[in-house]
Structures are given as C-alpha cells and as structure tokens.
Structure 1
Amino acid sequence: MNKNWIKVFIAAFFEVLWVIGLKHADSFWAWSGTVVAIVISFYFMIMAGRNLPVGTVYAVFVGLGTAGTVISGIVFFDEPFQWAKMILIFFLLAGVIGLKVVTGNNEEGAAS
C-alpha cells in the first residue's frame, strides 16, 4: 500500500476521534484532545492530497470516517444496532474501496 493511502487512513482514524470528541467533550482536556485530533486529521488528509487526486482522498476520508463513527457509536456508546445501518455502511465502504482501487497507487494529480 502506498504511503499516501496510509496517510488517508490515519486521517480517517483521527476524524473518528474528533467527531466523537465534538459530541462528548465536556472538559478542557477533552476539548484539547478534540482540537489536536482535528489538526492531525486534516494535516494527514492535506499531505495525502498533495500526491493523490484530491476528490478521491476526500471521498475515502469522509467514507471511512463516517463508517468508523457509526461503528464506534454502536460499540462504545450504546447506540442501537440496526442491520439497515450495517448494510448501508457496507455499500459505503464498497464505494470507498472501489474509488481506491480505481485510483490505484499512481500519483496522478500530484502537485509539481
């Protein structure tokens, strides 16, 4: 896997953290952690976007972040499990994986 795609996955991981932080932060330290997660998330997304097509990077970033946030809500925050949600996440991830496969590891769209 290309190092730029790894940056997208790291960005998506931190996106899940800051989205959870936006909902659950209730102290200075929780808000500080949320801000740090936002900065890390966007840093890695921007760095990946320098070498990969920006539209694909953003779609993968948001898709993985959305799936991770929904699954985290179910696993850690007692949100109700629904098969419909899981099926829709499956389709979302299929689209994200499809975009990554179609884009491949070429670095077209790279800035000069």
Structure 2
Amino acid sequence: MNKYWLMVVLAGLVEIIWVVGLKHAASFGTWSITIIAIIASFYFLLTAMAHLPSSTVYAMFTGIGTVGTVLTEIIVFGEAVHALKLVLLGTLVLGIIGLHRITEEVA
C-alpha cells in the first residue's frame, strides 16, 4: 500500500472525528477540534485524490467515515445496535476492501 492510500485511510479516520463533532460539540474547544479535523481530513483527501482515482478515493473516504461514525455512536454514545445495521456495515466494509483491491490490480 502506498502512502496515498494511507492518506485516504487517515482522511476517513479524521472524518469520524469531525462528523461526531458536528453532533456533539458544545464548547469552543470541541468546536475548534471539529474545525481542525475538517481541515485535516480534506487536506489528506485532496492530497490523495491528486495521485489516485478520485472515484475510488471518495468512495473509500466516505465508507470509512460512515462505518467509523456508526460504530463510534454505538460504542461511545450508546446508540441502539441492530443486527441488520451490523450486517449492512459489514457489507460496506467488504465493498470498500473490494474496491480498493480492484483499483490496485488495475493500476
């Protein structure tokens, strides 16, 4: 895996911070962290997009952010867990992995 794919993963992980922050930020400090996370996430995303197929990068970015945000809401904030939700998240993870693998094979 090259450094640009790692930047996509990092962008997705930082996305989790700012998406959760949009819902839960309540003070200057938490809003500051949220804004910094938005800037950092998009910096990593745009840097990766300059070197990789943008469609795959964006799909992976949003997929990582979606899965991470849902799991964070469940684990940290006690959101209800449904078996179907976990199955769908697993399907999304498989799609992200498959998209990444097929993109690397073609490149």
Please state which band the TM-score falls in when normalised by the shorter chain.
over 0.9
Deviation at 1:99, TM superposition (A): 0.7
What TM-score do the two structures reach when normalised by structure 1? 0.92
Q: 2:92 maps to which residue?
A: 92
Deviations 1:26-80 (A, max 9, x none): 1111100000000000000000001100000000000010000000010000001
TM superposition score normalised by structure 2:
0.96
Aligned residue pair count: 107
Amino acid at match of 1:15: E
SS of 1:18 mapped into structure 2: helix
CA shift for structure 1 position 2: 1.1
Moved over 4 A (4+): none
- For structure 2, the 5+ residue unaligned runs are none
Work out whether 1:69 is the aligned partner of 2:80. Answer: no
The structure that is helix-richer by fraction is 2
Question: 1:69 corresponds to which letter in structure 2?
Answer: T
> RMSD of aligned C-alpha atoms?
1.2
Q: Identity, % of aligned pairs?
A: 47
